[in-house]
Amino acid sequence: MLPKTLPTLDAQFVADCCDLAWRAMLTEVNLSPKPGLVDRFNCGSHKDMALEDFHRSAGAIRQWLPRFMESGANHAARPAPETLADLRRIGVGCEADMFRSTAGVNTHKGTIFSLGLLCAAIGRLYQQQQAISPELIGKTVAAICRGLTERELQNGNSQQTAGQRLYRQLGLTGARGEAEAGYPLVLELALPHFRTRLAAGSDPELALLDTLLVLMANNGDTNVASRGGADGLHWLQQHAKTLLRQGGVRHPADLSHLHEFNQQCIEHNLSPGGSADLLIVTWFLNRITHVKLPYESIKNPSWRISYVCFKR
């Protein structure tokens, strides 16, 4: 008789997932050249943070990700919105460590929100012994975030964050809206685009840079809007669309267009930090299906016998 639910999250599985999330953060920040963003060449439109801040921040966040997974697993039998309250508590602690590691600079606030939700969704799916697929993860995040934009954006309080202010001014739902919708920009646009480019034999870094352009062209990025307003966001989206129409990033020679785009973002003081976060989500979801699930083997009788023997 198979166990109804696994007693706890398998430690190796948790470590594999959190290491993958950590690698996703490093892969994104090391990817170069990225328009307006911190990378190996320069700090884009940022005067207060550099590559090393992101490396330190990613390491600090990595330590908290198991707690997001455990929260998702522990609340697996509870109504999904109850999970978010616990995630908020963990998130506040994680953000504090991020700020400690960067001497107060906001490198990954949005990343913590997105990766925290993805890890919680994976913990929930694991506890329910469901498949861990990008689509099911997206659906589970949407369930956890149901009603979030209405609660936190439509009824914003006086202590407005950038996201709340931009919702009132421009109707942008930002990180909350993307999560509550189940990451459609990633699941319907960026991830299929990235996988198609990889399947066609594209260099992975060029494919990822091209995917960043796809995100920048379609994302209502509140980072861009908080600095450049609606006009700044429209300019950045149109510029990304033009580069994509001209062929995007297919050959090393195309990197010159990204260097030029970066210079223009610096002149406009624009940084697509939200699209950088969604690129982290894209890379992570592309690889999560490779992480070994312990209960996949339970269907294999030989493994089941060894599991039962081991547990005695």
Ligand X SMILES: CC(C)(COP(=O)(O)OP(=O)(O)OC[C@H]1O[C@@H](n2cnc3c(N)ncnc32)[C@H](O[C@H]2O[C@H](COP(=O)(O)OP(=O)(O)OP(=O)(O)O)[C@@H](O)[C@H]2O)[C@@H]1O)[C@@H](O)C(=O)NCCC(=O)NCCS
Total residues found in the chain within this entry: 312
Assess contact for 130 and 109: CB atoms under 8 A.
no
257 part of the interface to ligand X, by CB under 6 A = no
Is 58 or 295 the residue whose CB approaches ligand X more closely? 58
Binding mask 101-140 for ligand ADE (x = CB under 6 A): ----------x-----------------------------
- Return the structure tokens found at 176: 């909350």
- Please work out the total of residues on this chain that contact ligand X, with binding judged by CB under 6 A: 34
- Return the structure tokens found at 269: 């003081």
53 binds, options ligand X, ligand ADE, none, Cβ within 5 to 8 A by partner type:
none
The Cα–Cα gap between 107 and 130 comes to 33
CB of 153 to ligand X, least distance (A): 8
Which residues make Cβ contacts (< 8 Å) with residue 226, sequence separation at least 6? 162, 165, 166
Measure Cα distances from 15 to 109, 121, 170 in Å: 22, 16, 40
207 part of the interface to ligand ADE, by CB under 6 A = no
The Cα–Cα gap between 242 and 62 comes to 36
225 part of the interface to ligand ADE, by CB under 6 A = no
CB of 80 to ligand X, least distance (A): 13
The Cα–Cα gap between 83 and 102 comes to 28
> Which residue in 112, 87, 117, 75 sits closest to 97, CA to CA?
112
CB of 161 to ligand ADE, least distance (A): 16
CB of 6 to ligand X, least distance (A): 23
Binding mask 233-272 for ligand ADE (x = CB under 6 A): --------------------------------------x-
111 part of the interface to ligand X, by CB under 6 A = yes
62 binds, options ligand X, ligand ADE, none, Cβ within 5 to 8 A by partner type:
none
Is 111 or 286 the residue whose CB approaches ligand ADE more closely? 111
Find the part of the chain contacting ligand X (CB under 6 A) among 6-14, 84-92, 188-196, 234-242: 84-92
38 part of the interface to ligand ADE, by CB under 6 A = yes
87 binds, options ligand ADE, ligand X, none, Cβ within 5 to 8 A by partner type:
ligand X
The Cα–Cα gap between 300 and 303 comes to 5
137 part of the interface to ligand X, by CB under 6 A = no
88 binds, options ligand X, ligand ADE, none, Cβ within 5 to 8 A by partner type:
ligand X
- Return the structure tokens found at 231: 């006009």
User: Which stretches within the chain are classed as H helix?
Assistant: 11-30, 51-62, 65-74, 80-101, 109-127, 134-144, 148-149, 162-170, 174-180, 184, 191-199, 204-218, 222-245, 255-268, 273-288, 301-311
Assess contact for 258 and 249: CB atoms under 8 A.
yes
- Return the structure tokens found at 213: 């352009």
Is 29 or 179 the residue whose CB approaches ligand ADE more closely? 29
Residues that bind ligand ADE (CB under 6 A): 28-29, 37-38, 44, 46, 111, 271, 273, 276-277
Residues that bind ligand X (CB under 6 A): 46, 87-88, 91-92, 95, 106, 108-113, 116-117, 161-164, 174-176, 178, 219-223, 227, 271, 273-274, 277-278
